[in-house]
Amino acid sequence: MRILATIKVMKPVLAKRLESLEESATLALNARVKQMVAAGETIYNLTAGELDGDTPAYIQQAVAKTLHLNKYTPVPGMPALREAIARHASDFYDVPFSPAQAVVTAGAKPALGAAFLALLNPGDEVIVPTPAWVSYNHLIELAGGRVVEVPLTDRWDLDVRAIAKAITPRTRAIIVNSPHNPTGAVFTSASQRELAKLLTGRPITVIADDIYNKLVFTRSFQPITKLGFKPDQLVIINGWSKSQALTGWRIGYVLAHPDVAAAITALLSHFTGNAAVPSQQAALTALAAGDVPGKLETLRHRRDLVAQGLKRIPKLNFVTPGGAFYFMIDLRTVTSDSAAWCEQLLTKYHVALVPGEAFSAPGFARLSFAADDATLQSAISAIAQAVTKKD
């Protein structure tokens, strides 16, 4: 009894580096909404950062034939997969990449985390254009870096003048994520060219998070290598979570200078080891099939449906996304507290959006249109009611 009592009062001591770490706000909210649904509530859940639907059938069938494979692969991935990534990237980016530059990871998140650990010394600054996806700041800080947030323009483009002002002798990297989460924006070629010019000759790495580069609805999109950035200056992050609906398979990669790739490999050799073998097989299958996103037309239709619906709601503003599957809705004419407004939207109107606070953008809310038409239509009607308070 006495031992039990002692255990009860003992509080675990956590490392200082975790003091400011919070669970991913989007994942936490999504889990909460799923719990509400499991408890019998009808919720129009537009928080998801993933496509609806199952694993594509062609991937299921191909991977089923390889389930006997159970051994470790090389840490940076199966040679055939690294070769396929290098071939695909050389083609897409129109610059040569070698297999030695590709490291396969258990999703894009570990690719980013490992890249920051490989590049940052304590106090090194990373410019993060905001709004920004939830994990960048935490991953940078875990690696000892300092986040320098620089807002995007009102139209969700890079504000290169503001970026220039934010550069200091400690600036080590900048994040460029286009198409962009949470706004769905495709940054203009002009702003990216201007950024490339600004960075020329500076020891600043561009972390190009290209995870949505297969989900593009606008012809103006250009791969980052065609906009004046030098390949040696880039660390490219990608994976199959978003384009192939493989979020739960945890499979991504980083493409970088061979020395950076080798450093990331050494790091992962002690941490995750290789990415799961069936997931590597899934990636190989997707690349062999041409890595074609199956849902692009459906997504374009849903984007247009949501845009038309939102346009009819007075006071709400938004910029129509050019890629990914998100709208960032401007709530500033509706409320001074977007977190409270989203909470009320969930509990009273049964629609789940992610409040902009999660993306360093209070006053906004992210709507994911990776949902079927009926869900989107019901959600938009409920949002209209919440805004006009006709209930």
Residue 102 or 313: the one with the smaller Cβ distance to ligand PLP is 102
Report, in Å, the least distance between residue 276 CB and ligand PLP. 13
133 binds ligand PLP (CB under 6 A): yes
* Nearest-angstrom CA–CA distance, 191 and 209: 17
**Residues of span 102-131 touching ligand PLP by CB under 6 A:** 107-109
Residue 79 or 248: the one with the smaller Cβ distance to ligand PLP is 248
* Nearest-angstrom CA–CA distance, 369 and 331: 18
Cβ neighbours of 38 (radius 10 Å): 8
Would you give the DSSP letter of residue 27? H
| Residue of 101, 177, 188, 265 that binds ligand PLP (CB under 6 A) | 177
293 binds ligand PLP (CB under 6 A): no
356 binds ligand PLP (CB under 6 A): no
Q: Helices 79-93 and 277-288: crossing angle, nearest 10°?
A: 40
Residue, CB closest to ligand PLP:
107
Q: Which residues contact 79 (CB under 8 A, 6 or more apart)?
A: 99
Residue 175 or 334: the one with the smaller Cβ distance to ligand PLP is 175
213 binds ligand PLP (CB under 6 A): no
Q: Please, is 374 exposed, middle or buried when counting C-beta atoms within 10 Å of its C-beta (0-12, 13-18, 19+)?
A: exposed
| Residue of 211, 261, 313, 331 that binds ligand PLP (CB under 6 A) | 211
| Residue of 55, 130, 222, 247 that binds ligand PLP (CB under 6 A) | 247
Report, in Å, the least distance between residue 247 CB and ligand PLP. 5
45 binds ligand PLP (CB under 6 A): no
Report, in Å, the least distance between residue 181 CB and ligand PLP. 4
**Residues of span 217-246 touching ligand PLP by CB under 6 A:** 239, 241
Report, in Å, the least distance between residue 266 CB and ligand PLP. 21
272 binds ligand PLP (CB under 6 A): no
* Nearest-angstrom CA–CA distance, 365 and 241: 23
Report, in Å, the least distance between residue 185 CB and ligand PLP. 12
76 binds ligand PLP (CB under 6 A): no
Rounded (5°) CA angle 218-223-225: 155
Q: Which residues contact 201 (CB under 8 A, 6 or more apart)?
A: none
Residue 48 or 376: the one with the smaller Cβ distance to ligand PLP is 48
Length of the chain in residues, anyone?
391
Q: Helices 135-142 and 108-119: crossing angle, nearest 10°?
A: 40
363 binds ligand PLP (CB under 6 A): no
Report, in Å, the least distance between residue 326 CB and ligand PLP. 9
Report, in Å, the least distance between residue 165 CB and ligand PLP. 25
Chain position carrying tokens 């490219």: 236
Q: Which two tokens stand for residue 345?
A: 């939207």
183 binds ligand PLP (CB under 6 A): no
DSSP one-letter string for 294-362: TTHHHHHHHHHHHHHHHHTSTT-EE---SBTTEEEEE-TTT-S-HHHHHHHHHHHH-EE-EEGGGGT-T
387 binds ligand PLP (CB under 6 A): no
Residue 178 or 265: the one with the smaller Cβ distance to ligand PLP is 178
| Residue of 252, 293, 321, 356 that binds ligand PLP (CB under 6 A) | 252
User: Which range, of 101-109, 154-162, 278-286, 383-391, touches ligand PLP by CB under 6 A?
Assistant: 101-109
Report, in Å, the least distance between residue 2 CB and ligand PLP. 46
Angstrom CA distances, 184 to 157, 163, 213, 224, 303, stand at 11, 20, 11, 17, 10
Residue 120 and residue 126 in contact, taking contact as beta carbons nearer than 8 Å:
yes
Closest Cα partner for 172 from 210, 152, 134, 199? Answer: 199
Report, in Å, the least distance between residue 257 CB and ligand PLP. 21
| Residue of 73, 171, 178, 181 that binds ligand PLP (CB under 6 A) | 181
* Nearest-angstrom CA–CA distance, 101 and 104: 10
Residue 125 or 209: the one with the smaller Cβ distance to ligand PLP is 209
Contact residues toward ligand PLP (CB under 6 A) are: 49, 107-109, 133, 177, 181, 209, 211, 239, 241, 247, 252
